[in-house]
Chain A
Amino acid sequence: MTELLAALGSLFTTPIVPAAFGGVTWGILGGALPGISPSITMALLLPFTYGMAPTTAVVLLASTYVGAEYGGSIPAILIGTPGTNAAAATVVDGYMMKQQGKGGEALGISLYSGFVGGLFGMLVLVGLTERLSSVALAFTPSSYFALGVLGLSVIATLSGESLVTGFIAGVLGLMISTIGTDPVTGLNRFTFGSPDLLSGIPPLLVMVGVYAMSELFMKTGEPDWEKATLEDARIKFPSPAIWRRIALPQAIGSVVGAFEGMMPGAGGAVSSFLAYNEARRWSRHKEEFGHGSPEGIAAPEAANNTVACTALVPMLSLGIPSSNSSAVLLGGFLMHGLIPGPLLFVNHPDVVHGLYTGLFVANVAMLIIGYLIMSPCMWLVGRPKPYLMAFIYALVVSGVYAIQTSLFHVGLAIAFGVLGSAMKYFRLPVLPMVLGVVLGFVVESNYRRALVLSDGDYRTFIQDPIAAGLLITAFLFIIGSVVRHLREA
């Protein structure tokens, strides 16, 4: 109750409402562009949040995530091309409904199911996050080191088809995190005499480079996407009969999304397909799935919007991002000097409560903006791809420069764009590298501090019960992934 009152209070003290509406608008527009994922949409916005108050910035980014998850379903339904990976499951029945002349109804089902899923995700987020982080005050440098290792162990799950390439990407990220001033001795490492590198490489630049810039490079040469007409894009309220029919798939999608959102590496795409499958299994109209079933839209859309909230549970409470989008949000926190994890709730409760409120407003805003934005959204999707890509490139370059008015940073973002493109070519997963960059400093500084405090005694990591528990969990996590990969091989 106290949290709810505090969250309500923040509604009137910070510009949360405009931030939530702005973020949702940007998110829907970005998500609606095929190939521009929620994480890229958020990464494009990151530089603009630099001068904002921390609460406003994190609300803007989190609302973008919420909006992008819905935005991805618009082209999925109207042109059969998912705007985001998570909307891929929506294509199956959404596009079929559009071909049957029920595109408006499909968009309405998507919007309302996203709203229902988002609200459920919010409840899970508020209910679980603070409890998970309540052990905050007992954390020592050993525990923080172990927490960082647990975060890095997520790499094992995020590695996709090859565990080795996932770990390689993770180690590359850790290497990047060592550039700059040494956290204990203050010595310069890998700076090559450049003052621009003394403070290290900001995770923000890595994210903008490997997500947004590399996507611009890799999209070069791809054909333009199909265009839809405005007549297709009038949202219709689902009828009471449809409402009754989609209630169960929405509940299934919400529950699946809640669990999958908190699982490292699962994300919106996995949860959408799982929810689709489960909704089909429990449906009385199984035969309609794949032929324009409203349930086939409701379940995945409820799931991916639930994920947009529940993916923040491990990120906020433990500082461990479980998806690309929550990694970008983590970058936004770090940029404002906020360290997600146990102490966030002690040191910055205002930001956390503001974020809760912002997410609630964002879900309501999604309903309103979802209706209003359809025409501009379709206009934007209808623009030729070369013009859109050119404007996005200019926006990224200008935004990165704006952070510290540094052309060196623009160069770094481009360099990371090249690295991201090379990683995609070699099928090296990007998220493990981002995790390495983000968690590298936490791991190294706390590892060494813990050893300084214990006079170099390594037993400190076993004697501290929290550290020992977290390290054992990380170890089991890695072993589990290795066994799974060996079985699949």
Chain B
Amino acid sequence: MKPAAVTKDKAQRELALGSATLAIAAVYYLLAIRIPQSDIADVIGAQGLPKTYASLLAGLSIILIVRAAMARRRAAAPDATPAIPKPRLQRGVAWRVFGMLMNGVIYILVVPWLGYILSIAALIAATVYYQGGELNRRAAGVAIGGAVVLWLLFVRLLHIAHPAGIWPSLL
């Protein structure tokens, strides 16, 4: 990628980041001013530092946005560099990353009723798939073996009560 294109890509990224953090600062500030005042509050109070942090973040975000906008203008102005395709996250990979995230979310939702062993085995199998592995007998073996090893480690050895769910009734 040519330097101008690199600068433009970086500027766009910083612009997006600055906008996101500015929004976070605004929401955080609005929540901070809703913290109730206490009769026994000190001179700073419970709202004091949160409001300062929000202002700091807003200020830094604005600096980032201005800097990114100026860099983008500089990158675009001098020469008309032909558009170079940006290295984007491939759609397949993005789905896999999303799948990895959903694995964890679904695990949290199902573990209370499915139980630890079954849920963690399913989590392992699904992760193998989203990490690019094939769902075959070997993967099933790894999932079941892994679940048993973790169950032995946490429940039997460390005595940590993970949710039992329907598992005991299946035995």
Closest partner residue, chain A, to B143 (CB atom): A390
| Distance, CA A221 to CA B100, complexed state (A) | 11
Q: Is the pair A402, B105 in contact by a Cβ cutoff of 8 Å?
A: no
Given contacts A390-B127, A390-B142, A428-B17, contact A221 B93 (CB under 8 A): yes
- Can you list 19 A-B pairs, Cβ within 8 angstroms, ordered by A? A164-B60, A171-B56, A171-B57, A178-B53, A185-B40, A187-B35, A219-B131, A220-B130, A221-B93, A386-B129, A387-B133, A390-B131, A393-B123, A397-B120, A398-B150, A398-B153, A405-B162, A414-B108, A418-B101
Name the contact of B128 in the complex, choosing from A178, A184, A390 (C-beta under 8 A). A390
With an 8 A cutoff between CB atoms, is A461 at the interface? no
A residues neighboring B (CB under 8 Å): 48, 51, 164-165, 167-168, 171-172, 174-175, 178, 182, 184-187, 189-190, 213, 216-221, 224, 384-387, 389-391, 393-395, 397-398, 401-402, 405, 407, 410-411, 414, 417-418, 421, 426-428, 444, 447-448, 451-452, 456
Name the contact of A397 in the complex, choosing from B99, B123, B130 (C-beta under 8 A). B123
Chain B residues within an 8 Å CB radius of A410: 104, 107-108
| Distance, CA A447 to CA B133, complexed state (A) | 52
With an 8 A cutoff between CB atoms, is B166 at the interface? no
| Distance, CA A61 to CA B146, complexed state (A) | 24
A-contact bits for B41-59, CB 8 A (1 contact / 0 none): 1111110111001101100
Chain B residues within an 8 Å CB radius of A407: 108, 111-112
| Distance, CA A115 to CA B54, complexed state (A) | 47
Chain A residues within an 8 Å CB radius of B36: 187
| Distance, CA A167 to CA B120, complexed state (A) | 38
Name the contact of B49 in the complex, choosing from A216, A385, A386, A444 (C-beta under 8 A). A444
Q: Is the pair A172, B21 in contact by a Cβ cutoff of 8 Å?
A: yes
Closest partner residue, chain B, to A418 (CB atom): B101
With an 8 A cutoff between CB atoms, is B64 at the interface? yes
Chain A nearest CB from B61 CB (Å) reads 7
| Distance, CA A164 to CA B44, complexed state (A) | 26
Given contacts A397-B104, A398-B120, contact A386 B57 (CB under 8 A): no
B residues neighboring A (CB under 8 Å): 13-14, 16-17, 21, 24, 28, 31-32, 35-36, 38, 40-46, 48-50, 53-54, 56-57, 60-61, 63-64, 67, 90, 92-93, 96-97, 99-101, 103-105, 107-108, 111-112, 116, 120, 123-125, 127-133, 139, 142-143, 146-147, 150, 153-154, 158, 160-162
Chain A nearest CB from B51 CB (Å) reads 10
- What's the dominant secondary structure at chain A's contact region? helix
Chain B nearest CB from A436 CB (Å) reads 9
Chain B nearest CB from A325 CB (Å) reads 24
Closest partner residue, chain B, to A182 (CB atom): B46
Given contacts A171-B57, A389-B127, A418-B101, contact A165 B150 (CB under 8 A): no
Q: Is the pair A426, B150 in contact by a Cβ cutoff of 8 Å?
A: no
Q: Is the pair B44, A384 in contact by a Cβ cutoff of 8 Å?
A: no
Chain B nearest CB from A226 CB (Å) reads 16
| Distance, CA A350 to CA B101, complexed state (A) | 42
| Distance, CA A182 to CA B36, complexed state (A) | 11
| Distance, CA A427 to CA B53, complexed state (A) | 21
Chain A residues within an 8 Å CB radius of B38: 185-187
Q: Is the pair A189, B57 in contact by a Cβ cutoff of 8 Å?
A: no
Closest partner residue, chain B, to A426 (CB atom): B17
Closest partner residue, chain B, to A396 (CB atom): B104
Closest partner residue, chain A, to B64 (CB atom): A164
Interface centre among A216, A393, A407, A447 (most CB of B within 10 A): A393
Interface centre among A164, A174, A218, A428 (most CB of B within 10 A): A164
Chain A nearest CB from B4 CB (Å) reads 17
Chain A residues within an 8 Å CB radius of B32: 189
Given contacts A165-B17, A175-B50, A386-B131, contact A394 B60 (CB under 8 A): no
Chain B nearest CB from A16 CB (Å) reads 20
